[in-house]
Amino acid sequence: DARVTQTPRHKVTEMGQEVTMRCQPILGHNTVFWYRQTMMQGLELLAYFRNRAPLDDSGMPKDRFSAEMPDATLATLKIQPSEPRDSAVYFCASGFPVQGSDVTFGSGTRLTVV
């Protein structure tokens, strides 16, 4: 089965450090999403790309978060500088949502900022 691969699975970092999360979407999928899951806010959309172009990043704190797709096989989410309130599980997903296909999620990156 094709899968979305996220690295690292777990990350513990100190406040102020840069964090980079990586995602390899399923080959051929034209849309890539980044979501954040917390107990308080649930599943929030941070940003998403279609054909590698950013469509919407309004869910991200712009001053510290950035999302890119340097190529079709890699999406990155960076936090600089990280803060304790960024502690959450970050999910990447890919699919053809406008065409009504399944949207497949990766296993997530559990980030802890101390």
d(CA 39, CA 89): 10
Please give the structure tokens belonging to residue 114: 């101390």
User: 30 or 81: whose CB is closer to other proteins?
Assistant: 30
d(CA 57, CA 6): 19
Q: How far is the CB of 7 from other proteins (least distance, A)?
A: 15
- Report how far Cα 22 is from the mean position of its chain's Cα atoms: 8
d(CA 72, CA 25): 8
Stretch in the footprint of other proteins (CB under 8 A) among 18-26, 38-46, 61-69, 71-79 = 38-46
User: 4 or 19: whose CB is closer to other proteins?
Assistant: 4
Q: Residues binding other proteins: what is the number (CB under 8 A)?
A: 24
Q: Is 108 in the site for other proteins (CB under 8 A)?
A: yes
Contact 67, 47 (CB under 8 A): yes
**Residues engaged in binding other proteins (CB under 8 A):** 31, 33, 42-43, 45, 48, 50, 55-56, 89, 91, 93, 96-98, 100-105, 107-108, 110
